[in-house]
Structure 1
Amino acid sequence: MKKTILLWVLIVAAFSCNKKQPENNSTDSSGKNNLGIILKNYYEDRLKLFPLEATAIADHRYDDQLPNDITVAHRTKLKNFYSQYLNEVQSLDSTALSGQEKLSYQIFKRDMQLNLEQLTFPEHLMPINQFYSLPITFGQLGSGAGNHPFKTVKDYNNFLKRIDGFQVWADTAVANMRRGIQVGWVLPKTLTQKVLPQFKAMVVTDPKKSLFYGPIDNLPKNFTADEKNQLTTAYTEAIQTKIIPTYKKLHDFLEKEYLPKSRSSSGINAVPSGNQYYNYLVRYYTTTTQTPEQIFNTGQQEVKRIRAEMEQVKNQVGFKGELKAFFEYVKTAKKFMPYKSAAEVLAGYNQIHERMQPQLEKLFGRVPKSKFEVRQTEAFREASASAEYNSPAPDGSRPGVFYVPILKPETYNSTRMESLFLHEAIPGHHYQISLQQENEDLPQFRRFGGYGAYVEGWALYTESLGKELGLYTDPYQYFGRLGAEMHRAVRLVVDAGMHSKGWTREQAIQFSKDNEALSEEGIVAEIERYMAIPGQALSYKTGELKIKELRQRYTQELGNKFNLSNFHDAVLQDGSMPLQVLEAKMNTWAAKQ
């Protein structure tokens, strides 16, 4: 099942709508099973089950569909789907595979097994949270600024059908959450409270003020007057009679019925089978066999190491006082808030890109063709959003976008801008995801899929390249980088603490405040994110540590035969994969050097 957050929904390349579809036949001309055909059939069948993924990769065959993916029937369909393809791939003679096929076999088999295991947990009983759920995604799609196209009359009519699907989904969500109340699978109370204003913002009296009126405000000029009038009437009516009532229904249910029954605990281990579920999520997101206890201990060690380096920077700039006081200074000093408008903040990020451009070719032999932009996060979700990257379409119809929430430009702290750009944009997510999507030698499930530990691990690793790219010349920007790394180390401690050790939300907030230079408001939002998506935050540091470990190992083993640009290209060239598979692949690469 699709468990990525927003942030790294990788899926974006292009199938032609009129492309001849492959026959659903897993044998080659000799009658033998063929891995390539199995994987091709799998991805074709997957798009029918996940039409939003198809839309995201510019395959518009299913743009009118929004399946009710939280029903028992849909989950049964998924179970049969994953079981079928696991059986097919296990019937192959894996010893006869080599190169990319061997990698694909290892990755695919693991995926199917994990997807089947995931379906043993009743996630559909908690279908909504403040960070990642369909009602939020649907707002992005319907605004006209998301993946759903609004270029033709058919595009507009397709979304009207998706509105009907959203109504049905919302009714099921309410029924599922009622079931969740009965069996103890409910959100923490603080998270339910965070969702309420998000849904309330969608309940407007004037349809023209609705987020979903955006496509009507931007009707293509080539539409006829009749088409424009017809669509304006249809969208106005759909907003009034379907969208607004649906969000109001969800809001009122959550406020009146669900909030009083929401739990006071913070960790997922408080729900039935919660410990087993969290152990699964740790394996899923880290793509390792590490236990929550190992993760927790690694986090504490990293926090201690990074604190020591932070002390060095504090002393370097001549600050007199404790590290916690230095955190406060970095958070609040006016000199670190130089901007007066959102446009100035965005310009600041573009200047970082220009400064590092000359050094990039020294560290990377391969660079993506996809275009790239920095944009401000849309207003409707800006208050609860983090900075994030949205993937490009390789056909050029959509660039890669680095979204920056800028609620108050005059208080936007500049000390983390360099490390944030490296991570979310270049050479972090934009390089990795774009190069992967542009690699047509990969089977589709790898071109358009992703693994958090690799994707986020790579992005965090690239933050450490700042000095080599001509950045971090200002010690405060380097301190910002240490703060970003500390943030990911703290995540290991507080995520495992809350979900496996019984830590409360307040304990986790205090641990973060003791070790980070973030604002309290920012820390609270982060802790509540980890509560909403258990385990996801573990992927960053786990992946970064693995890539750093491999770089250090090969530097020592290969000596003057080690080339950093070649190392980076080798890490990226086959796309995202589980860390265990990556390590085996890179060991083979190193042996050939």
Structure 2
Amino acid sequence: MKRALLLSIVAGGLFAFTSPATTPPARVAPKTLASLFDQYWEEQAKLYPLQATSQGDNRYNDQLPNDQTRAFRRQLQTFYQTYLTELKKYDRSKLPATDQTSYDIFQFEMERQLSNLKQRTWMMPFAQTGGLPSAMAQLGAGTGAQPFKTSKDYDDWLARVHGFTAWSDSAIANFRQGMATGIVLPKALVVKMIPQLDAMVVADPAKSMFYGPITNLPATVSAADKARLTTAYQQAILTEVVPSYQKLSAFLKTEYLPKARATSGVNALAGGKEIYANAVRYYTTTTTAPAQIHEIGVREVKRIRTEMEQVQQQVGFSGDLNAFFEYMRTEPKFMPFKTPEEVLAVYRGVQARITPSLPKMFGRTPKAPFEIRQTEAFRAASASAQYNRASPDGSRPGIFYVPIVDATKYNVTRGMDALFLHEAIPGHHYQIALQQENTDLPKFRRFASYSAFSEGWGLYAESLGKELGVYTDPYQYMGALGTEIHRAVRLVVDVGLHTGELTREQAIKYMMDNEPINEQAATAEIERYMATPGQALSYKMGSLKIQELRARYEKQLGNKFNLREFHDELLRDGSMPLAVLDKKMDAWAAKQKQTQ
């Protein structure tokens, strides 16, 4: 998803941008590779103030520059090309091993950002799965990364809000350019975007999500400031926030929707084949061709279906696998919940069960606190379960968000054990928190995110369930197989959608035919892939690489292979492209061979 992707705030992929500043800082020639990386980090933090906020850098919390301009895109082109040119002045072969890894990651990042800038996806500024309008709501509610502890924090947010009107106007202008050139979103996505925007429109500012920080004003804020800020927030909501969302909604409803396309994949767009090829490279961090990825998906779906059939036989269910899926989807005993709190309690129980086994598999664990929360109501209907990163200093916990639209319909066979392992522990929370806490890494690596690595690790973490003491119930294991086949299905449907081999409806049917998922959930998933081409490929492609590495070293090292040391090494240097990971882990294995 992302320039330097804004995980935890925006999930809109190549169609969503963080917000950059418009005036680049003065640049001086760095004297060392470390200073090059430091200078890059400082400059990009100013370019992407929302991203800086998400990473606990509060210096730019008052900024929301307009990223929807041609000047911005030109600025980014200069920015990334300059740093790529500077990097190549260093002789990689003369660098220490750690710096060689940094060199490789940095080069990959500069090149992929330059490749992104060649695409015309800026004509689709956001979609139903994310983008600045939904990010603003999450931040403004006071439940995200934007801090609301002091009067200055409150003033910072007001200053940031002031930029939203200009951003909205420019986003509409870019949408209109897309309408003129045929670079438009599918109708099926636009109809989901409109109610999301309408939900932000209120007549009473006290009923706005953006009023949340005023409702929770800290006792340390003076009475005078409380009165001033209350008035200022009411005014900002009624004169800036609400009109911006109204304008976006009205535009989509009256102008854009009639021009939106009936097709599902980006192949239908001018230059769509290259847009998708670039997205595949971006998210998988490999050069694997879409057709090959599709074949891998077909094989994996077949393999996992066979294992599912074995579980079906184990529980004594008669009928075919699709009948078993239907049984799990609809049987009332699998939907025992009455309240959201009961759902969250199950996830807390998973955490309690795996905790005793974690030290056997991980020598390093995060210092950052961790919480399980229900996803906010405004975005729950179209949200997936997700992890929001902790702040590096631990002042904000890592949060596992669970969307619960209707607790009475929340199904235990959806793989609750596996979902926790992936999104929380030892999945994203371990991987991201450990990476942020490793102060030996240059900052561009401490906060890097490569979907194939991070989502690959999350899916690999699911495969550790039996070793961690869960999946003891056959239906929970079936749920884990369901989440795994879900990622394998993605390889088939994502490629199918964006190469024109599958329509939206055919992709939904394929998903429902091969996993226990209802039509509403399958539709939301397929529409997510339509909005963010290629991102769904990263999970399975990344996990297959990690599983390949584990199998390789178990064979090479024999009794010298230590699973805990393997996991610690894999996570030690943070997220990186898969080809770089391969080289790094091979070097680790070579050292293990030499030990007695």
Instruction: Out of 252-261 and 551-560, give the one that drifted further.
Output: 551-560
Return closer, same or farther for 1:425/1:577 CA change in 2, 3 Å cut-off: same
Partner of 1:444: 443
Quote the residue 1:557 is aligned against.
556
Partners of 1:475 and 1:421 in 2: CA distance: 17
Taking the aligned partners of 1:477 and 1:7, their CA distance within structure 2 comes to 28
The answer for the alignment partner of 1:217 in structure 2 is 215
How far the C-alpha of 1:331 sits from its partner, in A, is: 1.2
SS in 2 for 1:467: coil
2:95 is equivalent to residue 112 of structure 1: no
Distance 1:252 1:461 in 2: 43
Question: Is the Cα contact below 8 Å between 2:10 and 2:131 reproduced in 1?
Answer: no
Q: Structure 2 vs 1, CA of residues 188 and 576 (structure 1 numbering), >3 Å: closer, same or farther?
A: same
Return the offset for 1:553.
1.2
Residue identity in the other structure for 2:96? S
Other-structure match for 2:195: 197
Task: Give the counterpart letter for 1:133 in structure 2.
Answer: G
Q: 1:567 is aligned with what amino acid?
A: F
Determine the structure 2 residue equivalent to 1:471.
470
- In the other structure, the counterpart of 2:16 is none
Does residue 1:90 correspond to 2:88, yes or no? yes
- Partners in 2 of 1:516 and 1:6 — Cα distance? 27
TM alignment of 1:380-459, pairs within 5 A: 380-415=378-413, 416-459=415-458
1:458-481 Cα deviation digits (max 9, x unpaired):
000010100000111101000000
2:73 pairs with 1:72: no
Cα distance, 1:4 vs structure 2? 3.7
Question: Mean alpha-carbon deviation: is it higher for 382-391 or for 549-558?
Answer: 549-558
Return the alpha-carbon distance in structure 2 between the equivalents of residues 65 and 3 of structure 1.
17
Evaluate the alpha carbon distance shift between residue 185 and residue 3 of structure 1 in structure 2; reply closer, same or farther with a 3 A threshold. Answer: farther
Residues 1:146 and 2:133 aligned together: no
Residues in 1 aligned to 2:498 and 2:427: alpha-carbon distance in whole angstroms: 29
Offset, 1:394: 2.6
Matched-pair contact (CA < 8 Å) for 1:9–1:390: no
The 1-side partners of 2:10 and 2:470 are apart by 28
In the TM superposition, residue 502 of structure 1 has moved relative to its aligned partner by 3.5
Q: Given residue 474 of structure 1, which amino acid in structure 2 is its aligned partner?
A: D
Q: How far is 1:8 from its partner?
A: 8.4
* SS class of match (2:162): helix
Question: Which one-letter code corresponds to 1:387 in the other structure?
Answer: A
Match of 1:171?
169
Deviations 1:385-414 (A, max 9, x none): 100000001312100000001111111111
Cα offsets for 1:124-154 (capped at 9, x unmatched): 1100200011000000111111111111212
Please state how far the C-alpha of 1:27 moved relative to its aligned partner: 4.0
SS of the counterpart of 1:421? helix
Q: Give the stretch that moved more between structures: 464-473 or 223-232.
A: 223-232
Q: Is the 8 A contact 1:8 1:389 kept in 2?
A: no
TM-score with structure 2 setting the length: 0.95
Corresponding residue number in structure 2 for 1:576: 575
* Distance (whole Å) between structure 1 residues aligned to residue 223 and residue 143 of structure 2: 23
* Cα separation, 1, equivalents of 2:365 and 2:26: 35
Counterpart for residue 505 of structure 1: 504
Match of residue 31 from structure 1: none
CA distance in structure 2 between the partners assigned to 1:471 and 1:23 by the alignment: 54
**2:325: which partner in 1?**
327
RMSD (Å), alpha carbons: 1.4
In 2, Cα distance between the equivalents of 1:64 and 1:7? 19
Whether contact under 8 Å (1:370, 1:400) holds in the other structure is: yes
Note the C-alpha offset of 1:2: 2.3
User: SS of 2:346's equivalent?
Assistant: helix
User: Does structure 1 residue 353 correspond to structure 2 residue 351?
Assistant: yes
8 Å CA contact retained: 2:123, 2:178: yes
Give the Cα–Cα distance (whole angstroms) in 1 for the partners of residues 212 and 132 of structure 2: 19
1:23 deviates by: 9.5
CA offsets, 1:562-582, max 9 Å, x none? 111111111111101000010
Per-residue deviation, 1:424: 0.3
TM-score by length of 1: 0.96
What is the CA–CA distance in structure 2 between the aligned matches of 1:264 and 1:4, rounded to whole Å?
A: 29
Match of 1:308 in 2: 306
Residue by residue, what CA displacement relative to the aligned partner does 1:411-437 show, whole Å, maximum 9, x if unpaired? 111121100000000000000000000
SS in 2 for 1:440: coil
Equivalences, count: 577
Q: CA deviation at 1:285?
A: 0.3
CA distance in 1, matches of 2:574, 2:56: 20
Does the CA-based 8 Å contact 2:202-2:208 persist in structure 1? yes
Q: Which residue of 2 aligns with 1:39?
A: 37
| CA separation of 1:119 and 1:373: change in aligned 2, threshold 3 A | same
Structure 1: unaligned runs, 5 residues or longer: 11-21, 29-33
Name the aligned partner's letter for residue 331 of structure 2. A
1:517 correspondence with 2:516: yes
SS at match of 2:467: helix
**How far apart, in 1, do the equivalents of 2:371 and 2:222 lie?**
32
Q: Does 1:122 align with 2:120?
A: yes
The DSSP-based 3-state class of the residue aligned with 2:143 is coil
- 1:458 is aligned with what amino acid? W
Q: Is the Cα contact below 8 Å between 2:30 and 2:39 reproduced in 1?
A: no
Partners of 1:57 and 1:552 in 2: CA distance:
34
Instruction: Find the aligned partners of 1:578 and 1:26 in 2 and give their Cα distance.
Output: 27
CA distance in 1, matches of 2:67, 2:360: 46
Superposed displacement of residue 157, structure 1: 1.4
1:345: Cα distance to partner? 1.0
Q: Please say if 1:2 is aligned against 2:14.
A: no
Flag as ranges the 4+ runs of structure 1 deviating above 6 A: none
How far apart, CA to CA, are the structure 1 residues paired with 2:500 and 2:166?
A: 38
Residue identity opposite 2:333 in structure 1: K
CA distance in 2, matches of 1:269, 1:35: 40
Residue identity (%) = 57
* Structure 1 residue matching 2:400: 3-state secondary structure: strand
Structure 2 Cα separation of the partners of residues 94 and 67 of structure 1: 36
Query: Of 267, 289, 292, which residue of structure 2 is paired with 1:291?
Result: 289
Residue type of the partner of 1:240? L
AA paired with 1:172? S
Distance 1:324 1:7 in 2: 35
Amino acid at match of 2:507: A
Contact 2:372 2:402 in 1 (8 A): yes
Give the structure 1 partner of residue 15 of structure 2: none
Question: Which moved further from structure 2: 109-118 or 331-340?
Answer: 331-340
Alpha-carbon distance between aligned partners in 2 of 1:308 and 1:444, rounded to the nearest angstrom? 44
Which of 269, 272, 278 in structure 2 is aligned with 1:271? 269
| d(CA) in 2 for partners of 1:24, 1:152 | 33
Q: 1:297 to 1:5 in 2, by over 3 A?
A: farther
- C-alpha distance in structure 1 between counterparts of 2:404 and 2:508, whole Å: 23
User: How far apart in 2 are the matches of 1:164 and 1:568?
Assistant: 45
Instruction: Give 2:536's aligned residue.
Output: 537
The 8 Å contact of residues 267 and 502 in structure 1, kept in 2 or not, is answered as: no
Give the gaps of 5 or more residues in structure 2: 12-24
User: How far apart in 2 are the matches of 1:590 and 1:154?
Assistant: 50
Does the Cα contact within 8 Å between 1:71 and 1:124 map onto a contact in 2? no
Say whether the 8 Å CA contact 1:550–1:583 is kept in structure 2: yes
AA matched with 1:420: L
Residues 163-201 of structure 1: per-residue CA shift (max 9 Å, x gap): 111110000011111110001110000000000110011
How many angstroms apart in 1 are the aligned matches of 2:469 and 2:55?
Answer: 35
Between the aligned partners of 1:527 and 1:304, the Cα distance in structure 2 is 20
How has the CA–CA distance of structure 1 residues 97 and 586 changed in structure 2, closer, same or farther, with 3 Å as cutoff? same
1:61, CA displacement in angstroms? 1.5
The equivalent position to 2:246 in structure 1, one of 242, 245, 248, is 248
Contact 2:285 2:579 in 1 (8 A): yes
